[in-house]
Amino acid sequence: MSIKIMSMIWDCGPENQSERFVLLALADYANDEGECWPSIGGVARKTCLTDRGVRKIIRRLQDTGWLEIKEGGGRKNCNLYRIKTLNHVQPEHSSPLNMVPENPEPRSLNPEHGSAEPSRTIKEPSSYNSARQIVDVLCQWASEDAVRSFIAYRRKQKGKALTLTAAKRLASNLKEIFNNGGNTDDALGLAEERGWQSISPEWYFNATANSRPTRNSGGHNALMAGFAAYASKLEK
């Protein structure tokens, strides 16, 4: 499993849900160079798709530049798949990730007719950097799983993708929830359940006063104590 490759896909992988899902499944097999040689059946089991469906999606990923396939190049004559990273070939213009090759060899890249000559300077796209910063800011106060789930939830809402500025404000709220005995993963999950764009300490403690546990072992009493402390702070 390559956490590096999976993180890249989560941040700026294919917009099509099934394509992203199959690419993540391949990343679950891959090394940090993006190379793997799973069976079609193995990918199908991970994604709950049919073998035929997986093959079609893999071909689409290959056509759009996300995936390179070397038939029989893997172990036991399995196909060798290589997920394109920031150091590999640039996908077609419709792809959301602007990946530029290092020391490209024109004969192996086989660009489309009329396409511009690729740059020889590696430039990470600003969208990739911003997405990475958003994750880092929020992961100071919540787990990466909870953070990525919330980011994906915001991305699905048209025009509501999380910005770095909004992420910093949200991190400040999570810090306050944490310092007052709350569970920050639970807070992000609650925001998703309620359809909220963010979460504030007041919303969280009001919503969880009678039903949700905290990160402390004291259970309900600790939650009530945290809420009381927060309410007292507001009154000052």
pLDDT value at residue 135: 86
Q: Of 214, 235, 5, which Cα lies nearest the Cα of 225?
A: 214
pLDDT value at residue 175: 93
pLDDT value at residue 97: 43
AA letter at 33? E
CB-facing half-sphere around the CA of 62: CA atoms within 13 A: 14
User: String of b and e for 120-142 (b: at least 16 CB within 10 Å)?
Assistant: eeeeeeeebebbeebbebbeebb
Alpha carbon of residue 221 to chain centroid: 35
pLDDT, tens digit only, all 236 positions of the chain: 778 888 888 888 888 888 999 999 999 898 988 899 898 988 999 999 999 999 999 999 999 889 999 887 666 677 899 998 654 434 444 444 444 344 444 444 444 555 555 444 444 445 555 788 888 889 999 998 889 899 988 888 776 788 888 899 999 999 999 999 999 999 999 999 999 999 999 999 998 886 654 444 444 455 555 656 666 666 65
Residues facing residue 35 across a β-bridge: 82
pLDDT value at residue 92: 43
**Model pTM score:** 0.41
CA distance 86 to 98: 8
Domain ranges for the chain: 3-109, 126-235
CA distance 221 to 217: 9
Rounded to 5°, the CA angle 140-125-153 comes to 50
pLDDT value at residue 214: 45
CA distance 196 to 124: 31
CATH of domain 3-109: 1.10.10.10
CB-facing half-sphere around the CA of 36: CA atoms within 13 A: 23
CA distance 102 to 120: 6
pLDDT value at residue 178: 92
CA distance 36 to 165: 37
Extract the tokens encoding 230: 């927060």
CA distance 175 to 178: 5
